[in-house]
Amino acid sequence: MIELQNNQLTFRFPEVHKNAICQIDFQRTLRIPDDNREYPLPPGLGRFPVEHVDDFADSLPDSWQEHGGVFIPMYQSEALWINFSGDYPCAVKIAAGKINAVSGKTWSNGLSNDPQDYAVIPEQPWLDGFNVSEDFIRQFIAMPLGEGFTAEEQITGKAEHGGLQIIVYPMKHEVYVELCREQAKRPAIDDLDIQFCVCESAVPDMGLAPGGLMRQEIYEDEYGIDAWDRDHGYRCFIHLANSEQYQAITGHRPPHKPPTASDYTSAGLPWFDYYDDGKALPGSDTLSRLTSVAAKIIEKGKGVLPDNDPVQPKIVKIVGKGNLVRDGEF
Amino acid sequence: MYYIVHMTFGEYIREHREALKAEDRRFSVRQVAQRIGVEPAYLSKIERGDVAPPSEAKIRALADELNEDADMLLAMAGKVSSDLQEIIRKRPQLFADLIRQLKTMPDNSILRIARDVRDGDW
């Protein structure tokens, strides 16, 4: 079952194990410059508000009601990252517009290990974008569907789905019990004890497009695909509503636009770098061929992406498994 | 979590307003009545139970004024919030059946059902 509380999705699998819980929230962040330079991790500026589709069924497109799930408000060209919490190992598959953000393949339920199309929690504390090459992702950027920017449109040629899709599979009960036994024998390894912790369109649908280049590894599954209980997955469709439409739909004001990367950096605020000794997955060939938003704007002859000046992050905080705080204040 | 107490609507309003008034004179009958847009005499009658509870809008204003839960005050007044009525009207059999089934369930189970995210067809 999936619960929504405090703008966070909690996936629970009591039928597998009482500890089998994975929490996912969507962090507001600044858009890193889309200039082919490599940037560290931008901050989390708080959670996006998350609403049940069913609570606003009359004001939303029929397709959203059919998909079920939730929706969040995003401004055009706003970025997000996905924050994972929970210490029970889970395999999480993430897609944008039903394009897998790790493998670049089209959506299917289930998991694949050739190539690996999922991230492993808690080893993977967050995901900021599309897996374009080993150690690098392109930031998730909200763009209106139908203009050719989103990964979905670039790969399939269609603007059908938009949004984000997530499916979570917990580790099998017996594998987890065995893992706990092994962990108990190796008290020095305590990883598992850490608590990981405005579009003008009248249509609210948005999708995610590839933005700037960021250093972030997506880690290889060290447990192997057979560790995951593929009979017990829960999935959720996260629709992206443009912020103006969101206010009209819900009556709630969306969060303010995040600062620009330039303003944030000039204010002397920190960026982040994450270190882990896990082996990183190679990038997806399909995703590596995506054209970023800034390049696409130029390609379309629509000028240049605003607020896209290069920045030089001066303060880069190193975070690791024992310290996963990536909050920014502005 | 709020529960219905064994008091009439009027008694409950008076008790809470008087408790606030002990700390702050702005919670006199006159001033509260003024702020929610009714005559002081009418609010006194409501508190004494001489007249029926007021409209949903006035109950919501009172809830806001006294920092009480509007749904609870509406229930004490024998009313169901108009947005809930609208929800039930759309699928009356389903919700009537659901509510009857939930009657004896513990709060945590009800909360879990209420906040489950539905997966659809995609």
SS3 string, chain A, reads CEEEECCEEEEECCCCCCCCEEEEEEEEECCCCCCCCEECECCECCECCCEEHHHHHHHCCHHHHHHECEEEEECCCCEEEEEEECCCCEEEEEEECCEECCCCCECCCCCCECCECCEEECCCCEECEEEEECCEEEEEEEEECCCCCCHHHHHHCCCCCCCEEEEEEEECHHHHHHHHHHHHHCCCCCHHHCCCCCCCCCCCEEEEEEEEEEECCCECCCCCHHHECCCCCEEEEEEEEEHHHHHHHHCCCCCCCCCCHHHHHHCCCCEEEECCCCCECCCCHHHHCCCCHHHHHHHCCCCCCCCCCCCCCCCEEEEECCECCCECCC
Question: Which residue of chain A is at minimal alpha-carbon distance from B83?
Answer: A55
- Min distance A9 CA to chain B CA atoms (Å): 8
Q: Is there a contact between A52 and B117 if contact means CB atoms under 8 Å apart? A: yes
Among A41-55, A80-94, A200-214, B66-80, name the one with the lowest average pLDDT: A200-214
* Domain-wise residue ranges, chain B: 9-79, 83-115
Range of the domain at A237: 2-319
Which pLDDT score is estimated for B2? 52
Residues 6+ apart with CB under 8 A from A301: none
ipTM: 0.75
Instruction: In whole angstroms, give the CA distance from residue A42 to residue A157.
Output: 30
Q: Is there a contact between A3 and B122 if contact means CB atoms under 8 Å apart? A: no
**Helix B40-48 to helix B9-23 angle, to the nearest 10 degrees?**
120
Q: How far is CA B26 from the centre of its chain?
A: 22
Q: Is there a contact between A4 and B121 if contact means CB atoms under 8 Å apart? A: no
When pLDDT is averaged across residues A71-87 and rounded to a whole number, the result is: 94
B23-28: Cβ within 8 A, 24+ apart: B27/B66
Residue B122 has its nearest CB partner, among A3, A4, A237, at A237
CATH of domain B9-79: 1.10.260.40
Q: What percentage of chain A carries pLDDT values higher than 90?
A: 70
Residues 6+ apart with CB under 8 A from A120: A89, A90, A91, A92, A219, A221, A222, A223
pLDDT of A243 strictly over 80:
yes
Answer yes or no: is A324 within a domain: no
pLDDT of A330 strictly over 70:
no
- Min distance B20 CA to chain A CA atoms (Å): 30
Which pLDDT score is estimated for A189? 38
DSSP secondary structure of A100-140:
ETTT-PBP-SS--BTTB-SEEETT--EE-EEEEETTEEEEE
Mutate to test the interface with B, among A15, A52, A71 (most CBs of B within 10 A): A52
Helix, strand, or coil (residue A144)? strand
Question: Which residue of chain A is at minimal alpha-carbon distance from B121?
Answer: A67
Answer yes or no: is A289 within a domain: yes
Instruction: In whole angstroms, give the CA distance from residue A36 to residue A28.
Output: 22
Among A99-103, A197-201, A306-310, name the one with the lowest average pLDDT: A197-201
Q: Which residue has the tokens 């995609």?
A: B122
Per the structure, the count of domains in chain A is 1
Q: Which of A81, A85, A16, A7 is nearest to A252 (CA)?
A: A7
Which pLDDT score is estimated for B5? 61
Structure tokens at A134: 């080993």
Structure tokens at A143: 């763009």
How would you write the pLDDT of chain B (122 residues) with one tens digit per residue?
A: 455 567 899 999 999 999 999 999 999 999 999 999 999 999 999 999 999 999 999 999 999 999 998 999 999 999 999 988 988 898 888 888 888 888 888 776 776 666 688 888 89
CB A22 within 8 A of CB A92: yes
Which pLDDT score is estimated for A197? 30
Instruction: In whole angstroms, give the CA distance from residue A324 to residue B54.
Output: 52
Q: Which of A166, A194, A186, A212 is nearest to A319 (CA)?
A: A194
When pLDDT is averaged across residues A169-179 and rounded to a whole number, the result is: 95
CB A71 within 8 A of CB A53: yes
CB A24 within 8 A of CB A11: yes
When pLDDT is averaged across residues A97-117 and rounded to a whole number, the result is: 95
Question: Model confidence over A219-241: pLDDT tens digits?
Answer: 999 999 999 999 999 999 999 99
Does the pTM of the predicted model rise above 0.80? Answer: no
Which pLDDT score is estimated for B110? 72
Which pLDDT score is estimated for A173? 95
Among A22-26, A32-36, A61-65, A100-104, name the one with the lowest average pLDDT: A61-65
Give B-chain residues touching A70 at CB under 8 angstroms. Answer: 117
pLDDT of A198 strictly over 60:
no
Answer yes or no: is A330 within a domain: no
Instruction: In whole angstroms, give the CA distance from residue A254 to residue A248.
Output: 10
